[in-house]
Structure 1
Amino acid sequence: MPEPTQPKSDFFGWINLVLLFIIYGSIYGFVFYGFTVVFPEMIKATGWSRGSASMAHTLRAISLGVLAPFVAIAIAKFGAKRTMVAGVIVGIVAMSLLGTVTTQLWQWIVLWGFIMPLSFSFGGALPIQTIITYWFNIKRGMALGIVLSGGALAGFVAAPLYTYIIQQTGTWKTGWLTAGGFCVCALIVTFFIKNKPVDVNQFPDGIDPEIKSDIDSEIKTKTPKTYRTGESWILKEVIKKPAVYLLAICMISQGSAIYLITTHGVLHLTDLNFTMMQAASVIANLILFSGLARFPMGYLGDRIEPSRILAISLAGMGISLIGIWKAPESIAILIVFSSVYGFCFGSMVPMFPTILGNYFGPTAFASITGFLTFFGVLFSAPVPVLSGIIYDKTHSYDIAFIYTIVLTLGASICAFALRPPKKS
């Protein structure tokens, strides 16, 4: 009797996951999360105001939103692999310039606000998630959780590593040069990626849909336990459904919360008399727990409707953000709050692409994600610069924290209201 699955050793999807894990960790972990400790040192050394310097982070976020539809077009025309190669090359160039010739505020704004978004967009999340969506259906949530944990685990290493390197060398520029080295590693790995199972004569999850099994129990183990659309969706159909706008609100709240912490978290804590290494350790711990959550919660998202996980995570993120805002004098208690925050944030990371893939399928995944990313970033991008301006005017981040906490808790209600859409 024929077997319904290919031998596991032959399924290239698992090798792809390892490669994508390394790429995502290099681009997002060592560059995006590494920013959290390099940025405060830049401000200290250059004397730039927090509001002015944070403009680069806001422009970066806006650029990501604007670029998202173009990334989707590039993926459709050139494939995810070629798109990633171009993006990673841009990242190498930008990191090299940040670590060598950057001395003026306008240079920082141009490089981080406009050039690096090309790397994050074309070399980052969307092409990576698109590849995973093609390779995995039944185990999609778990696969996304594995790969997306790479960014957090690399970020956990990056925060104290860059702090140590900067302290030893006496300049923030070495942080960016180190990040550029990790981008070179990502570029090498990218060339081994396979876009789709059909490229190597394989099938999603390693299962040939033409081969049927007579063993009911085996069929049952391969049946998804959460909702999966059986229809092919296009963008103009998706934008008519309430689910996509509820997801947008959730994305806006998650983005606003992480932008506030990654841009101003270290500054907020050092303002409260924590040392630079203590502040970096809190952020590193947050990033670590974000990574620890992604695989198990991605796995759970294949067994429990991911919208429920999203709702609970948003609520936990909002509550723990209160603890980081008030920052108790005990570093141990602060670490607990950052752990909860990180775990809740990390739980959401695989949920968004999982929900989109489950609700609308792989064909239009890139275009739908690009659409949502544009609007999500449009409303969350102002948080870094506005938070910096608020601090410059009031010498406090209170207003920024209160806004973000209320938004996150409200988005939790939206997530509870999510239901799989049906075609008209």
Structure 2
Amino acid sequence: MNWAARLIGGRFHYGWLTVAVVFLVLLAAAGTRATPSVMMVPLEHQFGWSRATVSLAISVNIALYGLMGPFAAAAMQRFGVRPTLLIALATMAGGVALSSLMTHPWQMVLIWGVMVGGSTGVAALSLSATVVTRWFTTHRGLVMGILTASSATGQLVFLPMLAAIAEHHGWKPVVLVVAGAAAIVLPLVAFLLPERPADMALRPYGEPADAPVASNVTKQNPLAIAFGTLAMASKTRDFWLLFFSFFICGASTNGYVGTHLIAMCGDYGMTEVQGASLLAAMGIFDLFGTTLSGWLSDRFNSRVLLFWYYGLRGLSLMYLPHAFGIDFFGLPLFAVFYGLDWIATVPPTVRLATDVYGKESAPVVFGWVVAGHQLGAAFAALGAGMLRASLGTYTVASMISGGLCLVAAVIVLRINRGERPVAAQAA
């Protein structure tokens, strides 16, 4: 890949090109993860599958997406980012394409739950944390915000288009478009994504020239890395505070709003395209909100930022059931307010994990924290589907989700206020 370095001719640090490639990978993965929410109503109409049945496949997807995080981070340490990511993208594209043949609920659980959930879990936040800690010494919060915002951009790019395709042509063309998008980024990873700055005869961006060169190479088994890091981190209070606050983060975003908002809009007479457009609008605002959050996390106390993020998110979710009854400003106000806060929690959470556990351990620790995020999302995806099936409304689910966010706002104020753990000393 030295040819790519020669091509840019030292005009800017290669780390920024790495960020661009990873941004596109995360964008494709985000579009893939968002697809089942567009397919929910068409599958219900064609096969008679209930929302609870489809929600089961989505919850398995979300859970595996999160559980893969620490193992993906460990595999990247052991085998490298590029080979790990290429295998994941090939599995993702193949699984999505294969789903065009499914006719039974168990097939959706196997393909969208297991195959797609596991592969998208590699192209996730743990990938962002790995790239940020390897390639950047300064501006880490800003870069993490940019990469995290790719999830919002994925919704912006894919959801309205996919919803329009589903409305006019059914759900099968949707999965073929998504599979093609996942396949397109494969050559970008193969030819433009180096393992670390040293491979390009560079230092991480912002690192002093006289700083010692750190090695990220390890021959330890990825399972041993992942579980060893968990054993170390789980003995500290900060890990569980990070884990449970991110559990609530996942429950209130991917699990509830990301999975059920389009179907919720249908309960109030809105079309799938209108619901998807609302999510896309939220994605626009989150693109700005999460990038700004990264910039803020480089400059302000991450605990205080998280307190405001979770508190305001909780209030917006409690407002959501009432938004449908307000003619003009109701849903647009929710889209702006909630969208700015959608995943703004990620940069300060990564910053806290790095501060507590050190540069080397932080990506794997954060992978386990992301597992908590996605377990929360799986819990909310299935729970909200069951509540909707039994009560005929999402109002109770909205109130529960909002209340949990207010709890998280209190929890985060206790992170990184005690003694330094063993991990930080060893890093």
Q: Is TM (by shorter chain) over 0.5?
A: yes
SS at match of 2:83: helix
Cα deviation for residue 69 of structure 1 reads 3.4
**C-alpha displacement of 1:121:** 1.5
Contact 1:292 1:346 in 2 (8 A): no
What is the match of residue 59 of structure 1?
Answer: 60
Contact 1:86–1:123 (8 Å) recurs in 2:
no
Give the equivalent residue in structure 2 for 1:151.
Answer: 151
Query: Does 2:26 match 1:31?
Result: no
Normalising by structure 2, report the TM-score.
0.86
Partner of 2:397: 400
Q: Is residue 354 of structure 2 the alignment partner of residue 357 of structure 1?
A: yes
The 1:56–1:211 alpha-carbon spacing in structure 2 relative to 1, beyond 3 Å, is: closer
Q: CA deviation at 1:414?
A: 1.0
Retained in 1: the 8 A contact 2:37–2:259? yes
Cα distance change on mapping 1:276 and 1:380 into 2, 3 Å = closer
RMSD (Å), alpha carbons = 2.2
Superimposed CA distance per residue, residues 71-106 of structure 1 (whole angstroms, 9 cap, x where no aligned partner) = 2331121012211111111110011012x2022211
- Write out per-residue CA displacement over residues 315-360 of structure 1, whole angstroms, 9 at most, x where no aligned residue: 1111111222333332532111122111112311323223222332
1:244-269 alpha-carbon deviations (Å, 9 max, x no partner): 21111210111001111121111111
SS in 1 for 2:68: helix
CA distance in 2 between partners of 1:352 and 1:195 (Å): 24
Q: Are the equivalent residues in 2 in contact too, given 1:132–1:140 (CA < 8 A)?
A: yes
Deviation at 1:209, TM superposition (A): 4.0
Alignment-derived partner of residue 281 in structure 2: 285
CA distance in 2, matches of 1:331, 1:38: 28
> What letter is aligned with 1:177?
L
**1:215-252 deviation line (CA, Å, top 9, x unaligned):** xxxxxxxxxxxxxxxxxx96544333222211112101
In 1, Cα distance between equivalents of 2:383 and 2:233: 32
SS class of match (1:205): coil
**Deviation for aligned residue 1:366:** 3.0
Q: What pairs up with 1:170-249 in 2 under 5 angstroms?
A: 170-191=169-190, 192-210=192-210, 235-249=230-244
Structure 1 contact 85–123 (Cα < 8 Å) conserved: no
User: Secondary structure at 1:419's aligned position in 2?
Assistant: coil
Question: CA–CA distance in 2 between the matches of 1:245 and 1:39?
Answer: 34
The answer for the alignment partner of 1:94 in structure 2 is 95
- What residue identity is the alignment partner of 1:117? G
SS of equivalent residue, structure 2 residue 101: coil
How far has the Cα of 1:164 moved from its partner?
Answer: 1.8
Equivalent residue number for residue 129 of structure 1: 129
CA distance in 2, matches of 1:137, 1:211: 11
Q: Establish whether residue 164 from structure 1 lines up as the match of residue 167 from structure 2.
A: no
1:363 is paired with a residue whose SS is coil
Which residue in 2 is equivalent to 1:253?
248
Tell me the equivalent position of 2:24: 22
Greater displacement, 323-332 / 77-86: 323-332
Equivalenced residues, count: 395
Equivalence for 1:342: 339
Partners of 1:372 and 1:297 lie apart in 2 by 19
Aligned twin of 1:230: none
1:244 partner amino acid: F
Give me the whole-angstrom Cα distance separating, in 2, the residues matched to 1:267 and 1:234. 39
Distance (whole Å) between structure 2 residues aligned to residue 291 and residue 8 of structure 1: 29
Instruction: Check whether the contact 1:86–1:122 (CA below 8 A) recurs between aligned residues.
Output: no
Distance 2:328 2:195 in 1: 45
- In 2, the alpha carbon distance for the partners of 1:47 and 1:64 equals 27
Give the SS at the match of 2:112: helix
Q: Deviations over 1:141-179 (max 9, x none)?
A: 0011112222211211211111222233x2111111111
Contact 1:314 1:345 survives alignment (8 Å): no
> 1:256 corresponds to which letter in structure 2?
A
Structure 2 CA distance for aligned equivalents of residues 18 and 377 of structure 1? 25
Q: 1:130 touches 1:362 (CA, 8 Å); kept in 2?
A: no
Any stretches of 5+ residues in structure 2 without a counterpart?
A: 1-8, 213-227, 423-427
* Aligned counterpart, 1:220: none
Name the SS for the 2:11 alignment partner: helix
Q: How does 1:238-387 map to 2 (within 5 A)?
A: 238-258=233-253, 259-329=255-325, 330-387=327-384
Partner in structure 2 of residue 70 of structure 1: 71
Task: Give the TM-score normalised by the residue count of structure 1.
Answer: 0.87
How far apart, in 1, do the equivalents of 2:328 and 2:347 lie?
29
5+ long unaligned stretches in structure 1: 1-6, 213-232
Identity, in percent, stands at: 22
Q: Whole-Å Cα distance in 2 between the matches of residues 180 and 190 of structure 1?
A: 16
* Aligned equivalent of 2:420: 422
In structure 2, what residue type is equivalent to 1:63? L
Structure-2 residue corresponding to 1:221: none
